[in-house]
Chains A and B, each alone.
Chain A
Amino acid sequence: MAEPGGALLAIRGLHVRFGGGARPLHAVEGLDLDVRRGEVLGIVGESGSGKSVSMLAAMGLVDPPGRVEAARLEFDGLDLRTLSPRERRRRVGRRVSMIFQDPVASLDPCWTVGDQLLEVLAAQRPQPRAALRERALALMRAVEIPDPEARLRAWPHQLSGGLCQRVMIAMALAGEPELLIADEPTTALDVTIQAQVVELLCRLRRERGMAMVLISHDLALVSGIADRVVVMYAGQAMEQGTPSQLFDAPRHPYTRALMAALPQAHRGRTRLSALPGTVPGRYDRPSGCLLAPRCAQAEAACAAARPTLRTLADGGAVACRLVADGPRGSP
């Protein structure tokens, strides 16, 4: 793992737990992650892998009873753990934005699109209403919303899902953020609209030099866009690398199984190679490797100790004791 010095967002040893008692739900377990300036980091994983909650935790959006601990949590050198919510809003709020899966639910149905967009702009820099309106229209043009004047007066229910997501992207861009966290931004959209929104995100990111964290369950989508990819499973990062390292030569048995399970990987109507069993829950969390109960290659030693992510010679990282290539650098 690279030294966090150059990273825009540096996360070390992030833990997120929900619920009390002897066995809390361990949603994120010891995650190390760097987002560098201007890069696209993809986080992939199945439901419950901790990909969303890890980013929510980093942004201070996990409320009690959820518990967040981290050895290090920094945005551009600023320690996020010690900031008060007010300070965080003032010093970080404008520089990081998030967009979510369901754009229709992310907008308030009781206010027009214009009211909501202007509210965001006014919160960032109070200006006369006419100036705010101009800025809102410019943003709506930037995200390619047709007929922006009319859309400013529209209610969220009058817009399609694709248009709502464009409005959310416009809001996210309002503060000219350095980091955009996009959590399944196209999952709720139809495929032709998904392609449009993905292209828009890529273009905006390029033009503005933003870093982007793209959280998705869609391996194919992430593989085409990301500079680096982290594969998560049951709260832990299993493998990390460039898309070609991961998708052309996956190392971790979980990454391999995930890709083998894709219909794209098969020719004709053959049986898919499915990973047996299900993701461990709160009560059957293994003490050793999290994948061990489902892993075809698992040995007795896999169930004994949980492997941590170690960096390999080519810069990729993997959390599996069966993968060769001696550990280099710090885990």
Chain B
Amino acid sequence: MSAAGRDPTARAERDATPQVPAIDAVDLVKHYPVRSGWLRPPRRVRALDGVGFVLPPARTLAVVGESGCGKTTLARLLATIERPTSGTLRIVGEAPGSDRASAHRLRRRVQMVFQNPYGSLNPRKTVAAILDEPLAIDGVLDRAARRARVAELLARVGLSQEQAGRHPHMFSGGQRQRIAIARAMALEPAVIVADEPVSALDVSIQAQILNLFMDLQERYRTAYVFVSHDLAVVEHLAHDVMVMYLGRAVEIAPARTLFAGPAHPYAKALLATRLRLGPQAARPVVPIRGEPPSPLDPPGGCAFHPRCPEALERCRAERPTLRPLGDGRLVACHLV
């Protein structure tokens, strides 16, 4: 199941030699137990309920959806911060094992950038120490080589050498996000998982950081999983987009195809909220009434049917699975 692989431009870009995908995820499931009261059996939040995709190198997969749709859980599984309840994950061909050596190897392959640049950097360390840490743990370079590498990283993300001795509190939000990106790039990973990396930043700074992401991808062929709620950012940056609703992918498509005309009713509703600049754009369209249901107690059949304007009897009874539409996209809807 590869939405990415179906994109003709992706195929054209690909080398003649067969290529190991940066990420190969099959049917990832993550359930969290929730205590529901004293003596009552714990319930399960189905944070992620069977998501899979293939991400080739040097491509960007954006994951969009509203709060509680499981996009952050997916990001944490992909970055191997958490283990899936079931399903298989391969990062550049390797499945995360339980031993330290495997964890060590995976750190060289996948790194994460978080939303909040104020919370994700150790305030007691200097920037040089923050960037040196992954290199020191990796243990390949000696001290002098690491120092040179830290200097190189700083230059690469647009920070000056004299800033290396400063602590995170002396930097603005955008600069801190640059430091976080430099730290993620330190081991030149094949994949960077970025969870809302620009949503805490102002527009003018957001543009700088998005440019940095694109420049780094061009140079190092890094694959990105880019979790975001900002559709304008996603449209600009992504090659492929996965639209999630209540722990499942409802549509996976090349970005251009999706933004030209989404197929799934939820994807349509989500994209209808996009605001255009200018007065003629007038008011936002209200696409759907109501709010997403709780992942503790998801509705039967299609999870979207209680809010879906087009729902039929079948949608209440039977859960749709992802199937190809023929134009490079996968959609989980009975009506498409």
The answer for the CA separation of A266 and B233 in the assembled complex, in Å, is 10
The answer for the CA separation of A279 and B277 in the assembled complex, in Å, is 24
Are B281 and A224 within 8 A (Cβ)? Answer: yes
Report chain A residues within 8 Å CB of B235.
263
Task: Judge whether B164 is part of the interface by a CB distance below 8 angstroms.
Answer: no
Are B279 and A247 within 8 A (Cβ)? Answer: yes
Q: What 0/1 readout, one digit per residue, does chain B (37-76) give for beta carbons within 8 Å of chain A?
A: 0000000000000000000000000000011000000000
Q: Which one, B206, B269, B278, contacts A261 given CB within 8 A?
A: B206
Report chain B residues within 8 Å CB of A257.
204
Q: Which one, A217, A258, A272, contacts B236 given CB within 8 A?
A: A272
A/B interface sample: 6 pairs, CB < 8 A: A196-B289, A224-B278, A242-B279, A266-B236, A271-B211, A272-B210
Select the residue from A202, A242, A243 with max chain B CB neighbours within 10 A: A243
Q: Which one, B203, B279, B283, contacts A199 given CB within 8 A?
A: B283
Are B203 and A219 within 8 A (Cβ)? Answer: yes
Are A47 and B236 within 8 A (Cβ)? Answer: no
Nearest CB in chain B: distance from A212 CB, A: 13
Closest 6 CB pairs of A and B: A220-B275, A263-B236, A274-B207, A46-B202, A261-B207, A272-B207
Are A192 and B287 within 8 A (Cβ)? Answer: yes
The answer for the CA separation of A192 and B267 in the assembled complex, in Å, is 11
Give the dominant DSSP class at A's interface.
helix
Task: Judge whether B208 is part of the interface by a CB distance below 8 angstroms.
Answer: yes
Select the residue from A162, A262, A272 with max chain B CB neighbours within 10 A: A272
- Known contacts A190-B229, A259-B277, A269-B214, A217 near B203 by CB under 8 Å: yes
- Known contacts A196-B289, A221-B284, A263-B232, A278 near B172 by CB under 8 Å: yes
Task: Judge whether B276 is part of the interface by a CB distance below 8 angstroms.
Answer: yes
- Known contacts A190-B229, A195-B286, A218 near B275 by CB under 8 Å: yes
Which residues from 278 to 301 on chain B have a C-beta closer than 8 Å to any C-beta of chain A? 278-289, 291-292
The answer for the CA separation of A243 and B237 in the assembled complex, in Å, is 27
For the complex with contacts A224-B282, A269-B214, 10 further pairs of A-B residues with Cβ separation under 8 Å are A192-B270, A192-B273, A192-B288, A193-B66, A195-B287, A223-B275, A262-B207, A263-B235, A269-B237, A278-B205
Report chain B residues within 8 Å CB of A199.
283-284, 286
Nearest CB in chain A: distance from B150 CB, A: 23
Report chain A residues within 8 Å CB of B286.
195-196, 199
